Chain A
Amino acid sequence: MSHLTNEQIDDLLISDAREPDHLKDCESCRTKVTHRRALGKRVRKAFKSIRADDDLRNRIHTAVAKNLQDASHETAAAPFRGRTARRLYPFLGAAAAVILVAVPLAHFLGRTTVANASQLELLEIHHHNLSEHSDMMTDLDPESVEAYFEEHLDHAPDLIVTGAGLTLCGCRVQTFRGQPVGSYLVETSRAKVTVIALREMPEALGMKELVDLSTPDVPIWGATCECCNMAAARVNGRTYYALGEASHEELNLVLRKLAQAASSN
Chain B
Amino acid sequence: MSQDGHSYDHLVLPHLDALFRAAMAICGSRQEAEDLTQTTLVRALERFETFTPGTNCRAWLYRILRNLWTDQLRHMKVVGTSRPIDDEVMELEDEHPEELIWSNAEDLLENFSDEQVIKAMRQVPEDQRLSLFLTEVERFSYQEVAEITGVAMGTVKSRINRARALLTQKLQDYAKEMGFLETRT
Contacts and interface: CB of A to CB of B under 8 A. Distances in A.
B103 interface: yes
Interface string B147-165: 0000000000100110010
Interface string B133-152: 10111000110000000000
A46 B136 CA distance: 11
Interface stretch (B73-81, B106-114, B176-184): B106-114
Interface of A: 6-7, 10, 14, 31-32, 34-36, 38-52, 56-57, 59-60, 63-64, 67-68, 71-72, 75, 109-110, 113-114, 117-118, 177-179
Contacts of B20: 50-52, 56
B137 A51 contact: no
Nearest to B108: A38
A32 B21 contact: no
Nearest to B103: A31
B97 interface: no
A145 B103 CA distance: 44
Nearest to A56: B34
A42 B160 contact: no
B1 interface: yes
B105 A39 contact: yes
Given A57-B16, A114-B9, A6 B161 contact: yes
B132 A43 contact: yes
29 contacts: A6-B161, A7-B157, A10-B142, A14-B141, A14-B142, A31-B103, A35-B103, A38-B109, A39-B136, A39-B167, A40-B135, A46-B114, A46-B115, A46-B121, A47-B25, A47-B133, A47-B137, A50-B20, A51-B20, A52-B20, A56-B38, A60-B16, A63-B42, A64-B42, A67-B42, A67-B45, A68-B45, A113-B2, A177-B9
Contacts of B118: 46-47, 50
B45 A34 contact: no
Contacts of A10: 142, 157, 160
A48 B133 CA distance: 11
Interface string B23-44: 0110000000010011001100
B105 A34 contact: yes
Interface centre among A36, A46, A71, by most B CB within 10 Å? Answer: A46
Contacts of A36: 164
Nearest to A179: B14
Nearest to A66: B42
A60 B109 contact: no
Contact of A113 (B6, B42, B117, B164): B6
A32 B2 CA distance: 53
A31 B104 CA distance: 8
B22 to A, nearest CB: 9
A7 B112 CA distance: 28
B38 A63 contact: yes
A42 B136 CA distance: 9
B88 interface: no
Given A31-B103, A38-B109, A67-B46, A177 B14 contact: yes
A42 B1 contact: no
A50 B164 CA distance: 21
Given A59-B38, A63-B42, A68-B45, 12 more contacts: A34-B105, A41-B106, A46-B115, A47-B133, A48-B137, A49-B114, A52-B16, A52-B34, A56-B34, A57-B16, A59-B34, A60-B38
Which 7 A-B pairs give the minimum distances between C-beta atoms?
A: A178-B14, A113-B5, A46-B117, A38-B105, A46-B114, A42-B109, A35-B105
